[in-house]
Amino acid sequence: MRFLVTSLAAFAMLISAESARAGGPVLVELFTSQGCNSCPPADAYLGDLAKRRDVVALAFHVDYWDYIGWKDTFADAAWTKRQREYSRSLRTAQIYTPQMVVDGGQHAVGSDRRAVERLIGDAAKRERPALELKRAADGLAFKIDGQGEAEIWIVGFDPRHETKVARGENAGKTLAEFNVVRGMRRIDAWKGGALSKTLAAGELPPGGAHAVVVQEAGLGRVLAVATAP
């Protein structure tokens, strides 16, 4: 009997550890540009990541390459600002494309699949608060429960676009782009415990799909992320 109890306890600890490792998807943010000739391989990799259930992959198109002959059709100065803020929080010497930021805490060149996969694997080991996002009758409903202190953001994105580039470094190419962010706004602050909220359709940022990101203030660590099914 003692052996059985010990075995059951060990099994319960194993299940608990597995649950912590599978506590939710990892956020991968790609900073990219249609005017950057080294970005298409990273865009393609993001497309592969977008198919996975253990990752929420989002593409933020920056505007600082627009001057070289092609204005990115999805570029937004707000995404350039976001990347600059990451540069400060991650203590990087400069901003660049393609850059992937994993769970707000680590970064790598976006086309370096081996490096990014290693960061995703490390981030996936962290225990996360429970986060659920689902479609409501007229919008989206989310609920979170667990420990932590963070800001909650709603992100609107388009799952796929194809863009014919006429000028610049990618002139003549048709670019396939995935999970292109079209809007993002802060919706609440969270200080741990249970919190639920419903957002009406008019409160949602533009985009064909949506995600909720729970991130420590100052572009710190991402505690949880979810997309609507």
First to last CA, the chain: 45
Q: Looking at residue 190, what is its pLDDT?
A: 97
pLDDT in tens, 104-154: 999 999 999 999 999 999 999 999 999 999 999 889 999 999 999 999 999
What residue segments make up the domains of the chain, in order of their start? 2-227
Q: Looking at residue 9, what is its pLDDT?
A: 39
**How sure is the predictor about 229, in pLDDT bands with cuts at 50, 70 and 90?**
confident
Q: Looking at residue 138, what is its pLDDT?
A: 87
Pick the CATH number of 2-227 from 3.40.50.620, 3.20.20.70, 3.40.30.10, 3.40.50.720: 3.40.30.10
Tell me what the mean pLDDT of segment 199-223 comes to. 97
Q: Looking at residue 2, what is its pLDDT?
A: 35
Reduced to 3 states (helix: H, G, I; strand: E, B; else coil), residue 94 is: coil
The C-alpha atoms of residue 154 and residue 56 are separated, in whole angstroms, by 13
pLDDT in tens, 31-87: 999 999 999 999 999 999 999 999 999 999 999 999 999 999 999 999 999 999 999
**How sure is the predictor about 8, in pLDDT bands with cuts at 50, 70 and 90?**
very low
Please state the pTM of the whole predicted model.
Answer: 0.89
The C-alpha atoms of residue 69 and residue 175 are separated, in whole angstroms, by 16
The C-alpha atoms of residue 44 and residue 129 are separated, in whole angstroms, by 30
Of 105, 107, 199, whose CA–CA distance to 152 is shortest? Answer: 199
- Phi and psi dihedrals of 31, rounded to 5? -100, 115
